[in-house]
Amino acid sequence: MDLRLIQNATPSAEERDAVDSLLGAPQTDWRGTPHEAPADAYFGAAGHESRGHRHLLLPALHAVRDATGFISPGGLNYICQSLDVPPADAYGVATFYALFQMAPVPPMIAHVCDDIACRMSGAREVFAELESRIGPAGKATPDGRATWHRSPCLGLCECAPAVLLQRAGTNQTDEVIAPADASAVLTRLTGDARKVEPNPQELNGSLHAPQTLDPECAKGLRLLKRAGRVDPESIDAYRASGGYEALRRAFDLGPDGVIREVLDSRLQGRGGAAFPTGRKLQDVARAPARPHYLICNADESEPGTFKDRILMENDPFALVEAMTIAGYAAGCEQGYIYLRGEYPLALARVRHAIDAARRRNFLGADIMGEGYHFDIDVRRGAGAYICGEETALFNSIEGFRGEPRNKPPFPTMVGLFGKPTMVNNVETLMNLPEILIQGGPAFASVGTEQSTGTKLFCVSGCVERPGVYELPFGVTLREVLDLAGGVRDGRPLQALLLGGAAGSFVTTEDLDVELTFEGTRAIGAALGSAVIMPFDDTIDMADIVLRIAAFFRDESCGQCVPCRVGTVRQEEALRRLSAGVPLGSVDQELALISELELVMRDASICGLGHTASIAVQSAISKLHLFDSKRAQ
């Protein structure tokens, strides 16, 4: 293939530096120097060597965006030239992601969360203020330095309302403001950023995990045991608190021994599908094809979910150790953390932990003198919920559009780069050190027969003390709600969302459900990512359901018809219903919505389509949404 670049589009010095600093200085003249070739030329590009680097496309797009705020034709050209990717192809990849803009934008963008938890906690006031002071979403401030947009859940729901400041330029880093008030956002957008106080989110990790504040409560914590107590940026502090004892134990047990402990622990995946982790480890370890890869799925984008962020921010070394253990057991030499693009603090801490571990020989060649070689690369997402789906994640890392693949084949056989791959959620992996230290059977003695261990619950919305709570499986919904102080301001409870946007609504009648995989299934719900979001009596549930429908429409990858068009038709029907102008009758609309639910569940390629109507259906059947309108 000859590469034909975009004509008359030369990269700026900034763009070239950004790409070069990622890929190293150009090996050949033609990449580094502005090319004199005629505008119409076809380049016999960098050849086989660079073609093997397509997986650097996403990092290269980030590099250009970080430098200039957007992906220009010249910048795209330079990336394409460097990696030997056709421009149309790279354009298709870049436009897949919400955090990449393809036209000039101000160097600072405030992504203001418009999702369910934030809507109930002051986001509307922030929008109103921004609209009146700056103008509608997308409008630049008078000096052209900043603008704002609405955003899906930023994974900061416990400190709603949340804002992510995405910045461009040298030495600029993204920043989170949460909880955000309009004036703090405006100061950043219109004022002198240097004068701004650091925001509370960065100050104290324990703020977000209320149990850690109470020494009694804190004693029982496993996953959160270091949160707020151990410096997340010090490997010495980590080691002093028991860090790397589990890896030592793993080396003593050998890979098979580790797998046996995990099987005995009966640990199930915390990423939503509850797949037995031991079996996955075993399948990958036994897969004949080589190499094997390990991926930590840290894309956490399910609205209402923020547990993985809190783990990474507060105990990043534990994740690095856990991945090393999993990699050792599954026979992997290379691991990846695919980390949500909207998590600047988690990104910084995880990167720091990896570097520190590498310096101390806890990563790299011959780890701890045991002859095991393993390293971890961090890959930043760029605003796409679907990239949390494991096969979409592979495509995203490989430098393709984040479109899910058909299964079978399954990742344990054909995964990243077509090789056997172990993919696990952050929380799943973080259980491994504990399992090795305690032993599998001891781990399994906590929780219930079928759901073992402890679970992190993401509690936000109309609740007194939002945050992440660690409790043994089997605790009831009521108990979690009580621990979090009950409904905010003592108001009556209207309903709860369980499991996230892909989960379902439950009512006060369901408060005694045992929170386990099997218990939630028994009431026709699912634990999902363990979101618990109460709504008080003032909340307009139709507005919440509409927001969920809009979310799925925005986040569908667009590959298959049932989901690509079905999510649009679902949102349209709900809008007609909530506006009181149904096509035909209300009953006809409700029937249409259930027909859509069936085709999305039956015929979509991936879990996004399969679950895109679950919350909507539960709102209709359990909350009797739109019934009142029928009565009118």
Partner 1 sequence: MTVAATTHRLHLKTNRTVDLTVDGQHVRVPEGSTIMKACQEVGIGTPTLCYEQTLTPVNACRVCVVEMEGSRALVPACARKVEPDMVIWTDSERVRHSRKLVLELLASSVDLSYAPDEVQGYLDHYDARPERFGPPDTSDGAVHRDHTQAGHHIPTTNGYAATVAQPPKIDNELYIRDYSRCILCYKCVEACGVDAQNTFAIAVAGRGFDAHISTEFAAPLPDSACVYCGNCIAVCPTGALIFKSEYDMRQAETWDEERQTETDTICPYCGVGCTLRLHVQDNRIVKVTSPMDHDVTNGNLCIKGRFGWQFVQNRARDTGVEESVGTS
Ligand X SMILES: Cc1cc2nc3c(=O)[nH]c(=O)nc-3n(C[C@H](O)[C@H](O)[C@H](O)COP(=O)(O)O)c2cc1C
- Based on the shown chain and the rule CB under 6 A, indicate whether residue 342 belongs to the binding site for ligand X: no
- Based on the shown chain and the rule CB under 8 A, indicate whether residue 196 belongs to the binding site for partner 1: no
Q: How many angstroms separate the CA atoms of 371 and 390, rounded?
A: 30
Which string of x and - marks every residue 143-182 that binds ligand FES (by CB under 6 A)? ----------xxxxx--x-x--------------------
Q: Which amino acid is at 190?
A: T
Between residues 80 and 224, which has the closer beta carbon with respect to partner 1? Answer: 80
Q: Which stretch binds ligand FES (CB under 6 A): 42-50, 116-124, 288-296, 377-385?
A: 116-124
With CB under 5 to 8 Å by kind, the binding choice for 69 among ligand FES, partner 1, ligand X, none is: none
Dihedral in degrees, nearest 10, Cα atoms 4, 395, 156, 518: 160
Q: Which amino acid is at 611?
A: T
Pairing of strands 364-367, 292-298: unpaired
- In the set 74, 232, 303, 331, which binds ligand FES (CB under 6 A)? 303
Give the neighbor-by-neighbor strand order of the sheet with 421-425: 364-367, 372-380, 332-339, 292-298, 421-425
Question: Contacts with partner 1: how many residues (CB under 8 A)?
Answer: 72
Element (H, E) at 37: none
Between residues 115 and 470, which has the closer beta carbon with respect to partner 1? Answer: 115
With CB under 5 to 8 Å by kind, the binding choice for 230 among partner 1, ligand FES, ligand X, none is: none
- Based on the shown chain and the rule CB under 6 A, indicate whether residue 268 belongs to the binding site for ligand SF4: no
Closest alpha carbon to 223 in 65, 429, 439, 8: 429
Which tokens sit at 411? 């990742």
Closest approach, Cβ 502 to partner 1, in A, equals 15
Between residues 467 and 609, which has the closer beta carbon with respect to ligand SF4? Answer: 609
- Based on the shown chain and the rule CB under 6 A, indicate whether residue 404 belongs to the binding site for ligand SF4: yes
Closest approach, Cβ 299 to ligand X, in A, equals 4
- In the set 32, 220, 439, 558, which binds ligand SF4 (CB under 6 A)? 558
- Based on the shown chain and the rule CB under 6 A, indicate whether residue 485 belongs to the binding site for ligand SF4: no
> Quick one: angle between helices 316-330 and 307-314, nearest 10?
100
- In the set 239, 275, 352, 561, which binds ligand X (CB under 6 A)? 275
- Based on the shown chain and the rule CB under 6 A, indicate whether residue 363 belongs to the binding site for ligand FES: no
Q: Per the omega criterion (within 30 degrees of 0), is the bond before 106 cis? A: no
- Based on the shown chain and the rule CB under 6 A, indicate whether residue 548 belongs to the binding site for ligand FES: no
Q: How many angstroms separate the CA atoms of 603 and 303, rounded?
A: 24
With CB under 5 to 8 Å by kind, the binding choice for 272 among partner 1, ligand X, ligand SF4, none is: ligand X
Applying the rule CB under 6 A, the residues between 409 and 448 that interact with ligand X are 423-425, 428
Between residues 90 and 180, which has the closer beta carbon with respect to partner 1? Answer: 90
The Cα-based distances of 608 to 22, 389, 541, 560, 603 in angstroms read 33, 8, 22, 11, 12
With CB under 5 to 8 Å by kind, the binding choice for 608 among ligand FES, ligand SF4, partner 1, none is: ligand SF4
Which string of x and - marks every residue 375-414 that binds ligand X (by CB under 6 A)? ----------xx-xxx------------------------
Closest alpha carbon to 208 in 82, 104, 313: 313
Which tokens sit at 278? 């031991």
With CB under 5 to 8 Å by kind, the binding choice for 579 among ligand FES, ligand X, partner 1, none is: partner 1
Applying the rule CB under 8 A, the residues between 552 and 581 that interact with partner 1 are 553-562, 564-569, 571-573, 575-576, 579, 581
- Based on the shown chain and the rule CB under 6 A, indicate whether residue 395 belongs to the binding site for ligand SF4: no
3-state SS class at 483: helix
Q: Which stretch binds ligand X (CB under 6 A): 61-69, 284-292, 298-306, 351-359?
A: 298-306
Q: How far is CA 282 from the centre of its chain?
A: 26
Between residues 406 and 628, which has the closer beta carbon with respect to ligand SF4? Answer: 406
How far is the first Cα of the chain from the last one, in angstroms, to the nearest whole number? 65
Environment class of 9 (CB within 10 Å of its CB; exposed 0-12, middle 13-18, buried 19+): middle
Element (H, E) at 449: none
Applying the rule CB under 6 A, the residues between 7 and 66 that interact with ligand SF4 are none
Are 376 and 335 spatial neighbours (Cβ–Cβ below 8 Å)?
yes
Applying the rule CB under 8 A, the residues between 60 and 79 that interact with partner 1 are 73, 76
Q: Which stretch binds ligand SF4 (CB under 6 A): 234-242, 313-321, 323-331, 554-562?
A: 554-562
The Cα-based distances of 563 to 301, 543, 559, 610 in angstroms read 18, 21, 8, 8
- In the set 81, 268, 604, 617, which binds ligand SF4 (CB under 6 A)? 604
Q: How many angstroms separate the CA atoms of 619 and 502, rounded?
A: 12
Closest alpha carbon to 613 in 592, 594, 588: 594
Which tokens sit at 131? 């609209």
Pairing of strands 175-177, 163-167: antiparallel
Which string of x and - marks every residue 62-101 that binds ligand FES (by CB under 6 A)? ----------------------------------------
- Based on the shown chain and the rule CB under 8 A, indicate whether residue 21 belongs to the binding site for partner 1: no
Between residues 217 and 565, which has the closer beta carbon with respect to ligand SF4? Answer: 565
3-state SS class at 366: strand
Are 170 and 164 spatial neighbours (Cβ–Cβ below 8 Å)?
no
Residues 6+ apart with CB under 8 A from 423: 295, 297, 390, 393, 411, 415
- Based on the shown chain and the rule CB under 6 A, indicate whether residue 270 belongs to the binding site for ligand X: yes
Which string of x and - marks every residue 136-155 that binds partner 1 (by CB under 8 A)? -------------xx-x---
- In the set 23, 98, 105, 113, which binds ligand FES (CB under 6 A)? 113
- Based on the shown chain and the rule CB under 8 A, indicate whether residue 398 belongs to the binding site for partner 1: yes
For CA atoms 169, 173, 177, 183, the dihedral sign is: negative
Residues binding ligand X (CB under 6 A): 269-273, 275, 277, 297, 299-301, 385-386, 388-390, 423-425, 428, 606-608
Residues binding ligand FES (CB under 6 A): 113, 115-118, 153-157, 160, 162, 303
Residues binding ligand SF4 (CB under 6 A): 386, 404, 556-560, 563-564, 604-606, 608-609
